Homo-oligomer: A and B are copies of this chain.
Amino acid sequence: MSEIVVIGAGLVGHVASRLLARKEFTVVAVDRDPERLKLLDGFEGLRTVEADATDPRTMESLAENAKVFILALPGNLGRIGLEAAVSTGTPVVDISFSPEDSRELDTLAKELQVPVVVDCGVAPGISNMCVGYAASQLATTEDVLILAGGIPSVRRLPFEYVAAFSPGDVIEEYTRDARMRLGGSLMARPALSDVELVHFDEIGTLEAFDTDGLRTLLETIDAPNMREKTLRYPGHAALMRTLRDAGFFDKAPISVGRGDDAISVSPHDVTLALFEKDTRLGPKETELVVLRVEVSGTGADGMRVMHRFDLLERTSYGVTAMARTTAAPCALVAARIARGEWPAGQAGVIPPEVLAAQPGVFDEIRRGLEHHAIVLSYSMKPLPE
Protein backbone atom coordinates (compact mmCIF):
# COMPACT_ATOMS: atom_id res chain seq x y z
CA MET A 1 0.00 0.00 0.00
CA SER A 2 1.47 3.29 -1.04
CA GLU A 3 2.49 5.89 1.52
CA ILE A 4 1.80 9.62 1.35
CA VAL A 5 3.93 11.72 3.70
CA VAL A 6 2.46 15.01 4.95
CA ILE A 7 5.04 17.38 6.44
CA GLY A 8 3.36 19.73 8.90
CA ALA A 9 0.30 18.91 11.03
CA GLY A 10 -0.91 22.47 11.53
CA LEU A 11 -4.23 23.90 10.35
CA VAL A 12 -3.84 22.66 6.78
CA GLY A 13 -1.64 19.57 7.17
CA HIS A 14 -4.08 18.15 9.72
CA VAL A 15 -6.99 18.31 7.30
CA ALA A 16 -4.97 17.08 4.30
CA SER A 17 -3.85 14.04 6.32
CA ARG A 18 -7.40 13.20 7.31
CA LEU A 19 -8.80 13.66 3.80
CA LEU A 20 -6.15 11.32 2.36
CA ALA A 21 -6.44 8.71 5.13
CA ARG A 22 -10.00 8.11 3.97
CA LYS A 23 -8.64 6.88 0.66
CA GLU A 24 -6.55 3.86 -0.31
CA PHE A 25 -3.27 5.26 1.08
CA THR A 26 -1.31 5.07 4.29
CA VAL A 27 -0.70 8.62 5.48
CA VAL A 28 2.38 9.53 7.52
CA ALA A 29 1.79 12.85 9.32
CA VAL A 30 5.01 14.58 10.41
CA ASP A 31 5.44 17.48 12.83
CA ARG A 32 7.96 18.56 15.47
CA ASP A 33 5.11 19.33 17.88
CA PRO A 34 3.74 16.20 19.62
CA GLU A 35 0.60 18.13 20.65
CA ARG A 36 -0.34 18.60 17.03
CA LEU A 37 0.33 14.95 16.22
CA LYS A 38 -1.84 13.85 19.15
CA LEU A 39 -4.84 15.42 17.41
CA LEU A 40 -4.34 12.91 14.59
CA ASP A 41 -4.17 9.87 16.87
CA GLY A 42 -6.67 7.12 16.23
CA PHE A 43 -7.56 7.87 12.62
CA GLU A 44 -7.48 4.75 10.48
CA GLY A 45 -4.80 4.57 7.79
CA LEU A 46 -2.75 7.29 9.45
CA ARG A 47 0.41 7.17 11.55
CA THR A 48 2.36 10.07 13.04
CA VAL A 49 6.10 10.82 13.20
CA GLU A 50 7.68 13.49 15.39
CA ALA A 51 10.43 15.14 13.33
CA ASP A 52 11.92 18.50 12.40
CA ALA A 53 11.19 19.78 8.89
CA THR A 54 14.37 21.85 8.84
CA ASP A 55 16.63 18.78 9.13
CA PRO A 56 17.64 17.67 5.58
CA ARG A 57 18.60 14.09 6.62
CA THR A 58 15.25 13.40 8.26
CA MET A 59 13.40 14.87 5.31
CA GLU A 60 15.36 12.71 2.87
CA SER A 61 14.74 9.47 4.76
CA LEU A 62 11.01 10.26 4.97
CA ALA A 63 10.89 11.11 1.27
CA GLU A 64 12.64 7.92 0.20
CA ASN A 65 9.73 5.73 1.28
CA ALA A 66 6.98 8.05 0.10
CA LYS A 67 4.87 7.80 -3.02
CA VAL A 68 4.06 11.51 -2.70
CA PHE A 69 5.43 14.19 -0.37
CA ILE A 70 3.07 16.94 0.79
CA LEU A 71 4.51 20.14 2.25
CA ALA A 72 2.12 22.01 4.56
CA LEU A 73 4.41 24.33 6.51
CA PRO A 74 4.64 28.06 7.23
CA GLY A 75 6.17 29.93 4.27
CA ASN A 76 9.70 30.06 5.61
CA LEU A 77 10.10 26.33 6.36
CA GLY A 78 9.11 24.46 3.19
CA ARG A 79 12.36 24.79 1.28
CA ILE A 80 14.39 22.00 2.89
CA GLY A 81 11.61 19.43 2.52
CA LEU A 82 11.10 20.43 -1.12
CA GLU A 83 14.78 19.89 -1.90
CA ALA A 84 14.90 16.58 -0.01
CA ALA A 85 11.91 15.21 -1.94
CA VAL A 86 13.19 16.24 -5.37
CA SER A 87 16.69 14.86 -4.74
CA THR A 88 15.20 11.46 -3.77
CA GLY A 89 12.94 11.43 -6.81
CA THR A 90 9.70 11.77 -4.83
CA PRO A 91 6.77 13.71 -6.35
CA VAL A 92 5.80 16.79 -4.29
CA VAL A 93 2.61 18.72 -3.68
CA ASP A 94 3.39 22.01 -1.95
CA ILE A 95 0.98 24.26 -0.10
CA SER A 96 3.62 26.09 1.91
CA PHE A 97 3.38 29.68 0.79
CA SER A 98 7.07 30.11 0.08
CA PRO A 99 8.33 33.58 -0.81
CA GLU A 100 11.17 32.17 -2.92
CA ASP A 101 10.82 31.33 -6.59
CA SER A 102 10.47 27.55 -6.57
CA ARG A 103 11.14 27.39 -10.31
CA GLU A 104 14.83 27.22 -9.46
CA LEU A 105 14.20 23.57 -8.69
CA ASP A 106 12.66 23.04 -12.08
CA THR A 107 15.83 21.91 -13.83
CA LEU A 108 16.74 19.30 -11.21
CA ALA A 109 13.18 17.98 -11.02
CA LYS A 110 13.04 17.60 -14.81
CA GLU A 111 16.37 15.75 -14.81
CA LEU A 112 15.11 13.31 -12.20
CA GLN A 113 11.65 13.10 -13.89
CA VAL A 114 9.94 14.23 -10.69
CA PRO A 115 6.70 16.24 -10.79
CA VAL A 116 6.53 19.09 -8.23
CA VAL A 117 3.10 20.71 -8.02
CA VAL A 118 3.55 24.01 -6.17
CA ASP A 119 1.09 26.51 -4.67
CA CYS A 120 -1.59 23.84 -4.53
CA GLY A 121 -3.94 25.46 -1.99
CA VAL A 122 -6.90 27.79 -2.49
CA ALA A 123 -5.20 31.06 -3.54
CA PRO A 124 -2.64 30.36 -4.79
CA GLY A 125 -4.05 27.03 -5.88
CA ILE A 126 -7.69 26.81 -6.93
CA SER A 127 -7.31 30.42 -8.20
CA ASN A 128 -4.48 29.29 -10.51
CA MET A 129 -6.52 26.32 -11.71
CA CYS A 130 -9.39 28.65 -12.68
CA VAL A 131 -7.07 30.97 -14.58
CA GLY A 132 -5.28 28.09 -16.29
CA TYR A 133 -8.52 26.46 -17.38
CA ALA A 134 -10.11 29.72 -18.60
CA ALA A 135 -7.00 30.71 -20.55
CA SER A 136 -6.94 27.26 -22.18
CA GLN A 137 -10.46 27.95 -23.47
CA LEU A 138 -9.49 31.29 -25.00
CA ALA A 139 -7.51 32.11 -28.13
CA THR A 140 -6.22 35.31 -26.47
CA THR A 141 -6.47 36.14 -22.80
CA GLU A 142 -6.84 39.82 -21.95
CA ASP A 143 -7.72 40.43 -18.30
CA VAL A 144 -7.17 38.26 -15.26
CA LEU A 145 -8.47 39.33 -11.85
CA ILE A 146 -8.22 37.21 -8.71
CA LEU A 147 -9.95 38.33 -5.49
CA ALA A 148 -9.30 36.10 -2.50
CA GLY A 149 -9.58 36.35 1.25
CA GLY A 150 -10.19 34.57 4.52
CA ILE A 151 -12.23 36.58 7.03
CA PRO A 152 -14.22 35.96 10.22
CA SER A 153 -17.95 35.36 9.66
CA VAL A 154 -18.68 38.13 12.14
CA ARG A 155 -16.58 41.29 12.41
CA ARG A 156 -14.70 41.47 15.68
CA LEU A 157 -12.46 44.32 16.85
CA PRO A 158 -9.60 45.10 16.99
CA PHE A 159 -8.62 43.66 13.60
CA GLU A 160 -11.84 42.24 12.10
CA TYR A 161 -9.63 39.46 10.87
CA VAL A 162 -8.80 35.91 11.85
CA ALA A 163 -5.53 34.39 10.78
CA ALA A 164 -6.73 31.21 9.13
CA PHE A 165 -3.14 30.56 8.19
CA SER A 166 0.20 31.45 9.80
CA PRO A 167 0.00 35.08 11.10
CA GLY A 168 3.66 35.57 10.13
CA ASP A 169 2.74 34.83 6.52
CA VAL A 170 -0.07 37.41 6.73
CA ILE A 171 2.41 40.10 7.83
CA GLU A 172 4.75 38.98 5.05
CA GLU A 173 1.86 39.37 2.59
CA TYR A 174 1.28 42.97 3.76
CA THR A 175 4.97 43.80 3.45
CA ARG A 176 6.12 42.27 0.16
CA ASP A 177 5.53 44.31 -3.01
CA ALA A 178 2.66 43.07 -5.18
CA ARG A 179 3.72 42.11 -8.69
CA MET A 180 1.16 42.43 -11.48
CA ARG A 181 0.89 42.98 -15.19
CA LEU A 182 -0.82 46.12 -16.44
CA GLY A 183 -1.04 47.15 -20.10
CA GLY A 184 1.42 44.39 -20.93
CA SER A 185 4.10 45.59 -18.49
CA LEU A 186 5.26 43.83 -15.35
CA MET A 187 4.86 46.20 -12.39
CA ALA A 188 5.24 46.11 -8.64
CA ARG A 189 3.18 48.17 -6.24
CA PRO A 190 3.41 48.26 -2.45
CA ALA A 191 1.14 45.71 -0.79
CA LEU A 192 -2.15 47.19 0.53
CA SER A 193 -2.32 49.64 -2.41
CA ASP A 194 -5.32 50.47 -4.60
CA VAL A 195 -8.03 49.73 -2.09
CA GLU A 196 -11.48 49.36 -3.64
CA LEU A 197 -14.85 48.16 -2.39
CA VAL A 198 -16.36 45.00 -3.87
CA HIS A 199 -19.84 43.78 -3.05
CA PHE A 200 -20.71 40.12 -2.48
CA ASP A 201 -24.43 39.41 -2.20
CA GLU A 202 -24.07 36.78 0.50
CA ILE A 203 -21.55 38.52 2.77
CA GLY A 204 -21.78 42.24 2.02
CA THR A 205 -19.26 44.80 0.90
CA LEU A 206 -15.60 43.92 1.31
CA GLU A 207 -12.46 45.80 0.42
CA ALA A 208 -9.87 44.50 -2.02
CA PHE A 209 -6.22 45.60 -2.12
CA ASP A 210 -3.04 44.59 -3.90
CA THR A 211 -1.01 41.67 -2.58
CA ASP A 212 1.61 39.49 -4.21
CA GLY A 213 -0.45 36.44 -5.12
CA LEU A 214 0.06 35.92 -8.85
CA ARG A 215 3.43 34.21 -8.52
CA THR A 216 3.82 31.58 -11.30
CA LEU A 217 0.84 33.01 -13.24
CA LEU A 218 3.01 35.97 -14.26
CA GLU A 219 5.17 33.55 -16.25
CA THR A 220 2.72 30.90 -17.38
CA ILE A 221 -0.22 33.02 -18.55
CA ASP A 222 0.09 35.38 -21.48
CA ALA A 223 -2.31 38.23 -20.64
CA PRO A 224 -1.63 41.98 -20.75
CA ASN A 225 -3.58 42.65 -17.55
CA MET A 226 -3.29 40.40 -14.54
CA ARG A 227 -3.88 41.33 -10.94
CA GLU A 228 -4.51 39.67 -7.60
CA LYS A 229 -6.13 41.39 -4.63
CA THR A 230 -6.79 40.26 -1.09
CA LEU A 231 -10.28 40.65 0.41
CA ARG A 232 -10.96 41.91 3.95
CA TYR A 233 -13.65 43.87 5.77
CA PRO A 234 -13.44 47.58 4.86
CA GLY A 235 -10.85 49.54 6.84
CA HIS A 236 -8.36 46.72 7.29
CA ALA A 237 -5.89 47.90 4.64
CA ALA A 238 -5.60 51.40 6.10
CA LEU A 239 -5.03 49.98 9.55
CA MET A 240 -2.38 47.52 8.38
CA ARG A 241 -0.74 50.20 6.29
CA THR A 242 -0.50 52.42 9.34
CA LEU A 243 1.10 49.63 11.34
CA ARG A 244 3.50 48.86 8.51
CA ASP A 245 4.45 52.49 7.87
CA ALA A 246 4.89 53.16 11.58
CA GLY A 247 7.42 50.34 11.77
CA PHE A 248 5.40 47.66 13.57
CA PHE A 249 6.23 45.10 10.84
CA ASP A 250 9.97 45.90 10.78
CA LYS A 251 12.11 42.84 11.45
CA ALA A 252 15.27 44.80 12.28
CA PRO A 253 15.64 45.15 16.07
CA ILE A 254 15.20 48.55 17.68
CA SER A 255 16.33 49.74 21.09
CA VAL A 256 13.48 49.79 23.60
CA GLY A 257 13.50 51.25 27.11
CA ARG A 258 16.13 53.56 28.54
CA GLY A 259 19.62 53.38 30.01
CA ASP A 260 20.60 50.07 31.57
CA ASP A 261 17.10 48.66 31.05
CA ALA A 262 17.26 49.12 27.27
CA ILE A 263 16.85 45.94 25.23
CA SER A 264 16.98 45.19 21.54
CA VAL A 265 13.79 43.80 20.05
CA SER A 266 12.21 43.33 16.65
CA PRO A 267 8.89 45.23 16.39
CA HIS A 268 7.76 42.53 13.94
CA ASP A 269 8.10 39.83 16.62
CA VAL A 270 6.08 41.86 19.13
CA THR A 271 3.36 42.53 16.56
CA LEU A 272 3.35 38.85 15.62
CA ALA A 273 2.87 37.87 19.28
CA LEU A 274 -0.09 40.27 19.59
CA PHE A 275 -1.53 39.14 16.22
CA GLU A 276 -1.35 35.51 17.33
CA LYS A 277 -3.47 36.45 20.33
CA ASP A 278 -5.90 38.84 18.64
CA THR A 279 -6.46 37.08 15.32
CA ARG A 280 -6.93 33.56 16.72
CA LEU A 281 -10.30 32.07 15.85
CA GLY A 282 -12.31 31.89 19.08
CA PRO A 283 -14.03 28.65 20.13
CA LYS A 284 -17.43 29.97 19.04
CA GLU A 285 -16.19 31.84 15.98
CA THR A 286 -16.40 30.75 12.38
CA GLU A 287 -14.65 32.13 9.32
CA LEU A 288 -15.16 32.10 5.62
CA VAL A 289 -13.11 31.93 2.48
CA VAL A 290 -14.11 34.03 -0.51
CA LEU A 291 -12.62 33.56 -3.95
CA ARG A 292 -13.62 35.22 -7.20
CA VAL A 293 -11.67 34.77 -10.40
CA GLU A 294 -12.51 36.63 -13.61
CA VAL A 295 -10.74 35.87 -16.87
CA SER A 296 -11.71 37.79 -20.02
CA GLY A 297 -10.54 37.33 -23.59
CA THR A 298 -11.44 36.27 -27.08
CA GLY A 299 -12.41 32.71 -27.95
CA ALA A 300 -11.42 30.73 -31.06
CA ASP A 301 -14.76 31.85 -32.55
CA GLY A 302 -13.75 35.54 -32.20
CA MET A 303 -16.30 36.23 -29.45
CA ARG A 304 -15.24 38.20 -26.37
CA VAL A 305 -16.23 36.39 -23.20
CA MET A 306 -15.63 36.42 -19.46
CA HIS A 307 -15.11 33.22 -17.49
CA ARG A 308 -16.08 33.70 -13.88
CA PHE A 309 -15.48 31.43 -10.90
CA ASP A 310 -16.88 31.91 -7.40
CA LEU A 311 -16.21 30.06 -4.17
CA LEU A 312 -17.64 30.82 -0.75
CA GLU A 313 -16.94 28.36 2.03
CA ARG A 314 -17.58 28.58 5.77
CA THR A 315 -16.19 26.81 8.82
CA SER A 316 -18.01 23.51 9.11
CA TYR A 317 -17.81 20.66 11.64
CA GLY A 318 -15.02 22.57 13.44
CA VAL A 319 -12.78 22.67 10.37
CA THR A 320 -11.99 26.16 9.14
CA ALA A 321 -12.95 27.00 5.57
CA MET A 322 -9.34 28.10 4.98
CA ALA A 323 -7.91 24.76 6.12
CA ARG A 324 -10.52 22.81 4.14
CA THR A 325 -10.24 24.79 0.88
CA THR A 326 -6.44 24.69 1.09
CA ALA A 327 -6.13 21.03 2.03
CA ALA A 328 -8.73 19.70 -0.42
CA PRO A 329 -7.02 20.63 -3.74
CA CYS A 330 -3.75 19.45 -2.28
CA ALA A 331 -5.15 16.07 -1.20
CA LEU A 332 -6.95 15.74 -4.52
CA VAL A 333 -3.79 16.30 -6.57
CA ALA A 334 -1.65 14.15 -4.27
CA ALA A 335 -4.07 11.23 -4.59
CA ARG A 336 -4.05 11.45 -8.39
CA ILE A 337 -0.26 11.51 -8.44
CA ALA A 338 -0.05 8.55 -6.03
CA ARG A 339 -2.36 6.62 -8.33
CA GLY A 340 -0.17 7.49 -11.30
CA GLU A 341 -3.05 9.31 -13.07
CA TRP A 342 -1.55 12.79 -13.04
CA PRO A 343 0.35 14.73 -14.20
CA ALA A 344 0.44 12.59 -17.36
CA GLY A 345 4.17 12.30 -17.87
CA GLN A 346 5.02 15.87 -16.98
CA ALA A 347 8.00 16.50 -14.75
CA GLY A 348 9.61 19.57 -13.18
CA VAL A 349 7.81 22.33 -11.34
CA ILE A 350 4.17 22.24 -12.38
CA PRO A 351 2.03 25.18 -11.26
CA PRO A 352 -1.68 24.39 -10.77
CA GLU A 353 -2.65 26.46 -13.82
CA VAL A 354 -0.57 24.21 -16.06
CA LEU A 355 -2.12 21.08 -14.55
CA ALA A 356 -5.65 22.48 -14.95
CA ALA A 357 -5.06 23.41 -18.60
CA GLN A 358 -4.73 19.74 -19.55
CA PRO A 359 -7.88 18.34 -21.20
CA GLY A 360 -10.43 17.11 -18.73
CA VAL A 361 -8.42 17.90 -15.61
CA PHE A 362 -10.33 21.03 -14.49
CA ASP A 363 -13.68 19.21 -14.60
CA GLU A 364 -12.17 16.47 -12.45
CA ILE A 365 -10.86 19.05 -10.02
CA ARG A 366 -14.29 20.65 -9.69
CA ARG A 367 -15.88 17.23 -9.16
CA GLY A 368 -13.17 16.30 -6.66
CA LEU A 369 -13.70 19.54 -4.70
CA GLU A 370 -17.44 18.90 -4.69
CA HIS A 371 -16.71 15.46 -3.23
CA HIS A 372 -15.14 17.39 -0.30
CA ALA A 373 -18.27 19.62 -0.19
CA ILE A 374 -16.49 22.58 -1.80
CA VAL A 375 -18.55 24.27 -4.48
CA LEU A 376 -16.66 26.16 -7.14
CA SER A 377 -19.30 27.81 -9.30
CA TYR A 378 -18.43 28.62 -12.87
CA SER A 379 -20.12 30.69 -15.55
CA MET A 380 -19.25 32.24 -18.86
CA LYS A 381 -20.86 35.32 -20.29
CA PRO A 382 -20.40 37.21 -23.55
CA LEU A 383 -18.79 40.64 -23.37
CA PRO A 384 -19.59 43.62 -25.62
CA GLU A 385 -17.25 43.84 -28.63
Contacts and interface: CB of A to CB of B under 8 A. Distances in A.
A35 to B, nearest CB: 14
Given A239-B239, A265-B265, A273 B254 contact: yes
Given A157-B241, A246-B278, A247-B274, 4 more contacts: A157-B245, A257-B266, A265-B265, A265-B270
Contacts of A242: 157-159, 239
A277 interface: yes
B278 A158 contact: no
Contacts of A269: 256-257
Contacts of A274: 246-248, 254, 267
B246 A159 contact: yes
A265 B264 CA distance: 9
Interface in A265-313: 265-267, 269-270, 272-274, 277-278
Contacts of A379: none
A245 B278 CA distance: 9
A254 B242 CA distance: 23
Assembly stoichiometry (copies): 2
Contacts of A265: 256, 263, 265, 270
Interface in A235-259: 239, 241-243, 245-248, 254-257
A270 B267 contact: yes
A263 B257 CA distance: 14
Contacts of A158: 241-243, 245-246
Contact of A273 (B255, B272, B277, B278): B255
A263 B241 CA distance: 26
B245 A273 contact: no
A157 B244 CA distance: 11
Contacts of A255: 273
B246 A273 contact: no
B273 A270 contact: no
B278 A256 contact: no
Contacts of A257: 266, 269
Contacts of A254: 270, 273-274
Nearest to A279: B246
| Closest 8 A/B residue pairs (Cβ) | A158-B245, A158-B246, A158-B242, A256-B269, A247-B274, A270-B270, A265-B265, A256-B273
Contacts of A241: 157-158
Contacts of A248: 248, 274
Contacts of A247: 274, 277-278
Q: Which one of A263, A265, A278 has the greatest number of beta carbons of chain B within 10 Å?
A: A265
30 contacts: A157-B241, A157-B242, A157-B245, A158-B241, A158-B245, A158-B246, A159-B242, A159-B246, A239-B239, A239-B242, A246-B278, A247-B274, A247-B277, A247-B278, A248-B248, A248-B274, A254-B273, A256-B266, A256-B269, A256-B270, A256-B272, A256-B273, A257-B269, A263-B263, A263-B265, A265-B265, A265-B270, A267-B270, A267-B274, A270-B270
